[in-house]
A = this chain, B = another copy of it.
Amino acid sequence: MIDRVLLLLQERRYSELRHLLDDLHVADIADLFSEIEDRELMLRLFRLLPKESAAETFSYMDTDIQQKIIEAITDVELKIILDDMFLDDCVDLIEEMPANVVQRVMRNSSPENRKLINQYLQYPDDSAGSLMTNEYVCLKRGMTVADALAVIRRDGVDKETIELCYVASPDRKLQGEVSLRQLVLSDPDTPITDIMDDNVQFVHTHDDEEIIAQMFTHYDLLAMPVVDNEDRLVGIITIDDAVDVIQEENTEDFELMAGMAPSEETYLKTPVFTLAKNRIVWLIVLMFSAMISGALLEHYEAAIASLPLLVSFIPMLMGTGGNGGSQASTIVIRGLALGEIDLGDVLTVWWKEARVSLLCGTVLAAVNFLRIWLQYGEADVAAVVSLTLICTLFIAKSLGCLLPIAAKKLHMDPALMSAPLITTITDASTILVFFTFSLTFLADRL
């Protein structure tokens, strides 16, 4: 596809190209731009887009492409695009651009949009306020279905969402929600208060993205109103933004849980240096914590020298502890993120993990005892290793479930208490338990 587009662009076969673009979804047209290296060709393609879809295509583009295009087009062209864009997409754009581009965008926005953009930019990143749009239909209590449909027909073209309309009092307090569906299916003379839903789910401007993601999932919403501190309706969040938030929150958790700082861009677009920077901090922290395990091993040097066989069980013991701990922490972090586990469930969760660890520990210990006994014929060593396995798994699973809940309690992101950290902590405890048992039960041989 991209080869054909490039060819047509280079040979200036514009009518063929327009025909080809006609058959593509705007999201796919936006993707084409990422694959064009040449700025001149990129600009040519942009100018070929039909007027009515240029702004929408622009909204779907990656940030770096948007910046290149803004830098290449004239002020007149930029003004047209900005006027056609939805306000929430415009705010997203400005949040990502460098200062000189932001200035140009602001200069070319209409005065009322400039005011709104400035207001939206004051909400914290990742809050409901920074996600919302003001392009929704607001109805008044006294209206009939016919009145409401007339308002929608008059104002609807410019609105991002008309599938759900909101009813507000004269002082802009949120009163209820009416769907376009109900309006179309109801008798024109019905008062909208008869069909409106007055139990609307809403969020406050400062509520966090994670809550928004949970509410959209839990209540199967298509859109959700946002109110300010005085409960006045100030905007709505639409499902397409909510889906993006859900995916971003998940990606952030995946990254944190693997011991990385979350990245702003997709992997292929993130420079090597940024990737390294995102990862090095945790690698250093964990390297230093792992030295504790090393220091413990040094402490038990004498025991190792008398029975070097002991060392060969350490990778297996540490590995099993680490894996058991990450299983528990992953499942608890995920449960917390989805709202399936609450802070109040801490004892239930721990008691569950304790029993799981004893079940798994017993099976692993039995397998291990047999293996070591058959391979080395040393029942006492086999017993010490198996006993350590059970204790290690119990400690690992307990830490794995308790630390994320504790983090949540302390208003930290539970995903920070994930596999790498738990593994490092259990490594040290594994060595401590193993040599304590060895020195106790194998004392005659050490």
Question: Are B181 and A275 in contact (CB-based, < 8 A)?
Answer: no
Please measure, in the bound complex, the distance between the C-alpha atom of A253 and the C-alpha atom of B254, giving whole angstroms: 9
Question: Are A279 and B247 in contact (CB-based, < 8 A)?
Answer: no
**Known A-B contacts A316-B290, A319-B286; A355 and B268 likewise in contact (beta carbons under 8 Å):** no
Question: Are A326 and B275 in contact (CB-based, < 8 A)?
Answer: no
Partner of A246, one of B247, B266, B324, B352: B247
Please measure, in the bound complex, the distance between the C-alpha atom of A185 and the C-alpha atom of B257, giving whole angstroms: 47
Q: Among residues 267 to 310 in chain A, which have CB atoms less than 8 Å away from a CB atom of chain B?
A: 267-268, 272-273, 275-276, 279-280, 282-284, 286-287, 290-291, 293-295, 297-298, 301, 304-305, 308-309
**Known A-B contacts A184-B152, A243-B217, A308-B305; A24 and B199 likewise in contact (beta carbons under 8 Å):** yes
Q: Among residues 209 to 238 in chain A, which have CB atoms less than 8 Å away from a CB atom of chain B?
A: 216-220, 222
In this complex, the member of A156, A219, A308 whose beta carbon has the largest number of chain B beta carbons within 10 angstroms is: A308
**Known A-B contacts A260-B327, A287-B316, A287-B368; A27 and B280 likewise in contact (beta carbons under 8 Å):** no
Please measure, in the bound complex, the distance between the C-alpha atom of A363 and the C-alpha atom of B313, giving whole angstroms: 31
Question: Are A184 and B185 in contact (CB-based, < 8 A)?
Answer: no
Considering the complex, give the chain B residue whose CB is closest to the CB of A23: B199
Question: Are B255 and A331 in contact (CB-based, < 8 A)?
Answer: yes
Q: Which of A6-14, A75-83, A417-425 contacts B (4 or more CB under 8 A)?
A: A417-425
Q: Which of A41-49, A101-109, A118-126, A337-345 contacts B (4 or more CB under 8 A)?
A: A337-345
Question: Are B330 and A260 in contact (CB-based, < 8 A)?
Answer: yes
In this complex, the member of A163, A305, A349 whose beta carbon has the largest number of chain B beta carbons within 10 angstroms is: A163
A274 CB → nearest B CB, Å: 10
Please measure, in the bound complex, the distance between the C-alpha atom of A352 and the C-alpha atom of B201, giving whole angstroms: 45
Question: Are B24 and A327 in contact (CB-based, < 8 A)?
Answer: no
A158-179 interface code vs B (CB 8 A; 1 in, 0 out): 0000110000000000000000
Question: Are A184 and B162 in contact (CB-based, < 8 A)?
Answer: yes
Q: Is A132 an interface residue when CB atoms closer than 8 A count as contact?
A: no
Q: Is A374 an interface residue when CB atoms closer than 8 A count as contact?
A: no
Partner of A304, one of B199, B255, B287, B311: B311
Q: Among residues 119 to 138 in chain A, which have CB atoms less than 8 Å away from a CB atom of chain B?
A: none
Partner of A297, one of B218, B294, B311: B311
Partner of A423, one of B22, B246, B322, B334: B322
Partner of A239, one of B222, B251, B363, B419: B222
Question: Are A363 and B217 in contact (CB-based, < 8 A)?
Answer: no
Partner of A287, one of B184, B308, B319, B326: B319
Question: Are A27 and B294 in contact (CB-based, < 8 A)?
Answer: no
Partner of A330, one of B152, B184, B222, B258: B258
Question: Are B201 and A25 in contact (CB-based, < 8 A)?
Answer: yes
Q: Is A438 an interface residue when CB atoms closer than 8 A count as contact?
A: no
Q: 28 A-B pairs, CB-CB below 8 angstroms?
A: A24-B199, A25-B201, A157-B185, A217-B243, A246-B247, A247-B338, A254-B257, A254-B330, A259-B326, A266-B335, A266-B338, A267-B331, A267-B352, A268-B345, A272-B352, A272-B356, A287-B316, A290-B315, A290-B319, A291-B316, A294-B312, A297-B315, A298-B312, A301-B308, A301-B312, A304-B304, A326-B420, A419-B419
